């Protein structure tokens, strides 16, 4: 099994890399952060450093993949960044980085790698979106006590819409395209939020299952969703019941 995972050095991405390496997959990880986690020495793992917010960097890594891989069974887009609304409004370059990283680059890369997916075994694409893509509230505190910031939520909402459109376009060639929508997940991206005294307790009380998520929850969802060969254009919540509140 051959897999490409963007955002492979982050908490969720690294967990997914580990999970598929354990299952014997060949994994290419892509991230703007230098290599440096436990997966880097695994013989079935190859790391490509790339800042997907930069078009030329993205083009180089796409060319490398097309030249080095004969087929792809799965692409998982974990790449993602977060800026609150105040920071995003302060700089057009930050808005561009947020939009390119969270939406444009994953879609462009997926389309560019279609020829490899066509030669894969039951191929699929999974985008890691966000519960914010479903319940965005424009920066106000939500019922679990965190803000659904407009610029971030819009980028993830666009990703969901593009996922569905791409799933319909590619259904005829049997490439499935789905997304996962996590709520708060304990990871480097949420470390600052969860370091606030009593914040994790507050969040856990507001989630029906009584805890925040961990990276393994998302990795398990990726495994299951890839195996659902009659499922496409689906957004799977990994949220402890949050979206039903």
Mean pLDDT of 11-27: 95
Domain that holds residue 19: 2-244
Residue 156: closest CA among 134, 178, 184:
134
For residue 195, what pLDDT is reported? Answer: 84
* Structural domain count of the chain: 1
CATH of the domain at 36: 3.40.50.720
How would you class 102 by CB atoms within 10 Å of its CB: exposed for 0-12, middle for 13-18, buried for 19 or more? buried
Between 132 and 31, whose confidence is greater? 31
Spatial neighbors of 127 by CB under 8 A, at least 6 apart, are 77, 106, 159, 160, 163, 177, 178, 179, 180
Q: Which residues contact 179 (CB under 8 A, 6 or more apart)?
A: 126, 127, 128, 129, 159, 160, 163, 234, 235, 236
Confidence of residue 143 (pLDDT cuts 50, 70, 90): very low
pTM for this prediction: 0.93
Which pLDDT does position 200 carry in this prediction? 86
Q: Is it the case that residue 147 has pLDDT exceeding 60?
A: no
Average pLDDT over residues 17-30: 96
Please state the rounded mean pLDDT for residues 152-181.
96
- Tell me what the mean pLDDT of segment 48-61 comes to: 95
Confidence of residue 61 (pLDDT cuts 50, 70, 90): very high
How far, in Å, CA of 16 to CA of 231, rounded?
20
Confidence category of residue 138, pLDDT binned at 50, 70, 90? very low
């Amino acid at each position: 099994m051959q897999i490409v995972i963007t955002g492979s050095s982050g908490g969720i991405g690294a967990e997914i890399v580990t999970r598929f390496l354990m299952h014997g997959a060949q994994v290419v990880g892509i991230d703007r952060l230098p290599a440096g986690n436990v997966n880097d020495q695994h013989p079935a793992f190859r790391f490509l450093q790339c800042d997907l917010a930069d078009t030329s960097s993205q083009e180089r890594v796409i060319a490398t993949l097309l030249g080095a891989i004969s087929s792809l069974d799965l692409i998982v887009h974990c790449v993602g960044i977060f800026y609150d609304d105040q920071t995003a409004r302060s700089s057009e370059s930050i808005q561009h980085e947020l939009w390119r990283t969270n939406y444009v680059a994953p879609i462009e890369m997926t389309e560019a790698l279609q020829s490899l997916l066509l030669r894969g075994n039951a191929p699929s694409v999974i985008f890691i979106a966000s519960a914010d893509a479903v319940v965005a509230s424009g920066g106000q505190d939500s019922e679990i006590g965190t803000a659904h910031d407009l610029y971030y939520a819009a980028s993830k909402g666009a990703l969901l819409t593009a996922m569905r459109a791409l799933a319909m376009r590619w259904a005829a060639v049997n490439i499935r395209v789905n997304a996962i929508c996590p709520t708060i997940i304990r990871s480097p991206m949420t470390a600052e939020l969860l370091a606030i005294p009593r914040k994790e307790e507050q969040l856990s009380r507001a989630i029906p299952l009584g805890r925040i998520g961990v990276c393994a929850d998302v990795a398990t969802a990726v495994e299951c969703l890839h195996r659902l060969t009659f499922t496409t254009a689906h957004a799977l919540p990994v949220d402890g019941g949050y979206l039903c509140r």
